């Protein structure tokens, strides 16, 4: 693996300075010293690891191009001859939990979610992009241009014009896995009933596709000395509320994050009335 990494990174020095650390929930990682500085490398022996890491790399590329929230600069995915794969990216010096920059991250996430085709050009002029030389492309459909993974579960990101159809398909993937593993007929029946009612939850909302992190839980955000960062994304273009819903699953995100987010992107009036 290290021989391949040296070739891909075009470095004469490849020294692991911090090894056997967590690389998300399912991978292991090392931080390497290279000719060009520190590089964070995740590895996984999963059969579909290359496709999984290709999805993560593409997600990082799009978020990095948006230039609103800091993410590790993506470098390369390498498939290993004995199976599995590795992904290399910029190593960030994380200083700990999201305590100092919660409000800043909330404001930045709202600005990211404002990047829709409808108002994206205006917002891109307003934001001071981190990466001036990179072009960010806006889309008008729901989905993503590659397969991404939630853990080991592949996500069907085929483009859709309708948010409800895309969202239903996303849930259906997980329901099929639950049905296959547990054979719980009650869960399947409840999902069938909910599926029929799903359009009613969005009947008064004009959902615009915007770039999402996709897995914005507590363990995938942090901060450096300079500000907030996020990592381990599986991006797609969808409803902005999806990121907020994921952020509440495991808790631990300061209220200042939500207050700042809704200062920039207020809760729609029709949702306040429900």
- Catalytic residue annotation: 215
CB 256 within 8 A of CB 110: no
Sheet holding 85-90, edge to edge: 15-22, 28-34, 37-44, 85-90, 74-79
Q: Taken in order 237, 240, 246, 251, is the CA torsion positive or negative?
A: positive
Can you spell out the DSSP letters for 75-144?
Answer: EEEEE-TTS-EEEEEEPP---BSSSSSHHHHHHHHHHHHT--TTTHHHHHHHS--S-TTPPPPP-SSBB-
Q: What is the DSSP letter of 70?
A: B
CB 233 within 8 A of CB 220: yes
DSSP state at residue 16:
E
- What is the spatial distance between Cα 154 and Cα 170, in angstroms, rounded to a whole number? 10
Which residues, 6 or more positions from 84, have their beta carbon under 8 angstroms from its beta carbon? 43, 44, 45, 46, 49, 50
For 62, 148, 187, the CA distances from 195, given in Å and listed in that order, are 31, 23, 12
Contact 239, 207 (CB under 8 A): yes
168: Cα separation from own chain's centroid:
19
**Pair type for strands 210-212 and 153-155:** unpaired
Cα–Cα distance measured from residue 31 to residue 124, given in angstroms and rounded to the nearest whole number: 34
């Amino acid at each position: 693996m290290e021989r391949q990494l040296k070739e891909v990174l075009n470095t004469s020095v490849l020294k692991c300075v911090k090894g056997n650390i967590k690389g998300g929930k399912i991978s292991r990682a090392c931080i390497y010293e290279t000719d060009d500085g520190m590089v964070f490398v995740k590895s996984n022996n999963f059969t579909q690891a290359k496709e999984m890491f290709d999805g993560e790399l593409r997600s990082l590329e799009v978020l990095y191009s948006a230039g609103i929230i800091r993410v590790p600069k993506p470098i390369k995915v390498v498939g290993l001859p004995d199976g599995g794969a590795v992904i290399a990216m910029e190593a960030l010096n994380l200083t700990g939990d999201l305590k100092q920059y919660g409000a800043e991250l909330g404001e930045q996430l709202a600005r990211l979610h404002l990047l829709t085709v409808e108002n994206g050009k205006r917002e891109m002029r307003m934001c001071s992009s981190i990466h001036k030389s990179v072009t960010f492309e806006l889309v008008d459909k729901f989905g993503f241009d590659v397969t991404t993974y939630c853990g080991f579960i592949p996500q069907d990101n085929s483009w859709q014009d309708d948010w409800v159809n895309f969202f239903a398909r996303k849930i259906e993937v997980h329901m099929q896995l639950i049905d296959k593993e547990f054979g719980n007929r009650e869960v399947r029946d409840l999902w069938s009933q909910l599926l029929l009612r799903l359009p009613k939850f969005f009947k008064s909302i004009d959902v615009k596709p915007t770039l999402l992190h996709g897995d914005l839980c507590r363990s995938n955000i942090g901060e450096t000395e300079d500000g907030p960062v996020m990592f381990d994304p599986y991006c797609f273009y969808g409803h902005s509320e999806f990121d907020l819903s994921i952020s509440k699953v495991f808790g631990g995100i300061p209220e200042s994050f939500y207050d700042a987010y809704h200062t920039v992107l207020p809760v729609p009036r029709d949702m306040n009335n429900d």
